[in-house]
Structure 1
Amino acid sequence: MSLTTMKPGETARVTGFARGERGYRQRLLAMGLTPGAVFSVTRVAPLGDPVEISVRNFTLTLRREEAAILKAERI
């Protein structure tokens, strides 16, 4: 499942990353989105971009193309 298909209030666990830019994947890892991390979608902008998530007691806002690299499973 992709983060872009989730709705506000849903919770998921990071399972991995799609193939993409290695540099951006490293940034996501540095921001706490490591495999096994649990996050919840806080808000989604009216047109779906950006998406705000809550992970490890802080809020993170990602653009749609950035969020598309993240693979997750619903909890």
Structure 2
Amino acid sequence: MKKLYEIEVGNIVKVYNLSAKDLLKERLLALGLTKGVSVEVMRKGPKDNLTVYKIRGAMIALRKEEASLITVL
């Protein structure tokens, strides 16, 4: 298993676990990041700090620290 930020551009993975807490967890769940959902890595920003993901048809940008809380298969 890997963390979401480790996945290369163009790959599609499934969310296995979300280890965020409190408000961040609520935000990620509201964005559709639930267990089993498919996530496609669209593009990475400068220095790989910000990455754009396609989740349930929506493009969502997450920082590396946020993506490190998401375990994928």
Q: TM-score, normalised by structure 1?
A: 0.89
Structure 2 residue 62 is matched with structure 1 residue 58: no
1:47-68 Cα shifts (integer Å, max 9, x gaps): 0110100010110000111111
Secondary structure of 1:47 counterpart: helix
How far, CA to CA, are the matches of 1:23 and 1:43 in structure 2?
A: 26
2:67, 2:10 → 1: CA distance? Answer: 17
Measured after TM superposition, the shift of residue 46 of structure 1 is 2.8
Q: Distance in 2 between matches of 1:50 and 1:7?
A: 13
> After superposition, where does 1:26-41 map in structure 2 within 5 Å?
26-41=26-41
* Higher share of residues assigned helix: 2
CA distance in 1, matches of 2:37, 2:57: 11
Q: How many Å apart are 1:21 and its aligned residue?
A: 2.8
User: Cα offset for 1:6?
Assistant: 0.9
Identity of aligned residues (%): 28
Q: Unpaired segments of 5 or more residues in structure 1? A: none
Which amino acid in the other structure matches residue 66 of structure 1?
A: E
Question: Once superposed, which parts of structure 1, at least 4 consecutive aligned residues long, lie more than 6 Å away?
Answer: none
Question: Over the residues paired in the alignment, what is the CA RMSD in angstroms?
Answer: 1.0
